């Protein structure tokens, strides 16, 4: 009978096995990281698309009228002349009817009666790559100093801070902006004369309430989060809109015609101003009024962003330009 001899597992064999396992891990980790990043980008894109389609369903249910950046009657001396932002009105179209029914529409969004609703984080409004605290600290609202509102990483465009557009629309009114010559006005899809496929509905403006510039966190919001007459832009239940600035390459300076239109800086001042900002590499997503979502690349011409962000500038833009 033959005898089978089994060789002992030596230290050299163990070391070689450990090296092979280590190399395998090093090869797998980048693949897993890329897969997670790709999944996050896909989720973010789909979330923006859901919100854009909700805008369309709202308009269909309201004879072409659109949700507006700011909604509500004039408030005397406290906050903006509005109670809430457009995302609140979209809740029933985003399977959030229960929150919608709990909202007190007779009160400001920061009123104590709306605290339980407005502090609720809604995953649909948060990019999976968000790196911020996701909720405003106390003492940033004159209406309610103890208010803490959950943020949205997606914002509609009010207008552009620097007047760089045509004479009839120098600041470029966004698709959902209702403030026309200082008066709140109902807005309709017919007012989007640039075409729904070339007019932005929402852009990414991630990281609030922290202040981020060119990939670096500047602070936790202290530089912008002061108790001021205007309520902070960014809470999903409030003014989820932004006046867009262009920035220097490092994101530290707002410049007329600045070259950094994407991922320059997310907030400045009292959060009313800021920029298109994401934690995705190479750019940020934007939804359009036709329901599509496209990736706006870093380095795109700021004037192209202006053309896409305004609803009636009359500009002609080709997809290759962004």
Residues of the chain with confidence (pLDDT) below 70: 1-9, 11, 13-17, 19-37, 73-82, 224-230, 270, 320-321
Say if residues 88 and 103 touch (Cβ distance below 8 Å): yes
Q: What is the pLDDT of residue 318?
A: 75
Round to whole Å and give the CA distance between 193 and 189: 9
Q: What is the pLDDT of residue 232?
A: 74
Contacts of 279 (CB under 8 A, 6+ apart): 127, 129, 130, 131, 206, 207
Say if residues 257 and 164 touch (Cβ distance below 8 Å): yes
Q: What is the pLDDT of residue 192?
A: 95
For the chain, domain boundaries: 15-321
Q: What is the pLDDT of residue 75?
A: 47
């Amino acid at each position: 009978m033959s005898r089978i001899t089994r060789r002992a597992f030596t230290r050299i064999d163990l070391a070689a096995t450990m090296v092979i396992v280590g190399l395998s891990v090093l090869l797998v980790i980048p693949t897993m990281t890329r897969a997670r990043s790709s999944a996050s980008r896909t989720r973010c894109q789909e979330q923006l698309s859901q919100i854009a389609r909700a805008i369309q369903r709202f308009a269909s249910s309201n004879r072409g009228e659109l949700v507006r950046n700011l909604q509500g009657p004039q408030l005397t001396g406290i906050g903006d002349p509005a109670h809430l932002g457009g995302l609140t009105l979209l809740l029933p179209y985003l399977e959030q009817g229960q929150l919608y029914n709990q909202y007190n529409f007779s009160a400001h969004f920061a009123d104590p009666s709306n605290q339980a609703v407005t502090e609720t984080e809604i995953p649909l409004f948060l990019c999976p790559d968000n790196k911020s605290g996701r909720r405003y600290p106390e003492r940033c609202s004159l209406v309610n100093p103890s208010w803490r509102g959950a943020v949205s990483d997606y914002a509609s465009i009010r207008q552009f801070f620097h007047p760089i557009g045509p004479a009839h629309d120098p600041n470029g009114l966004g698709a959902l902006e209702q403030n026309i010559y200082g008066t709140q006005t109902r807005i309709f899809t017919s007012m989007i004369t640039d075409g729904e496929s070339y007019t932005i509905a929402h852009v990414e403006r991630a990281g609030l309430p922290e202040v981020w510039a060119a990939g670096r966190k500047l602070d936790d919001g202290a530089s912008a989060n002061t108790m001021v007459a205007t309520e902070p832009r960014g809470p999903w239940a409030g003014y989820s809109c932004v006046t867009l600035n262009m920035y220097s390459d490092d994101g530290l300076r707002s410049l007329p015609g600045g070259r950094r239109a994407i991922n320059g800086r997310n907030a400045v001042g009292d959060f009313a101003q800021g920029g298109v900002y994401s934690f995705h590499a190479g750019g940020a997503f934007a939804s359009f009024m036709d329901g599509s979502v496209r990736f706006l690349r870093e380095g795109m011409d700021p004037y192209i962003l202006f053309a896409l962000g305004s609803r009636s500038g009359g500009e002609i833009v080709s997809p290759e330009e962004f």
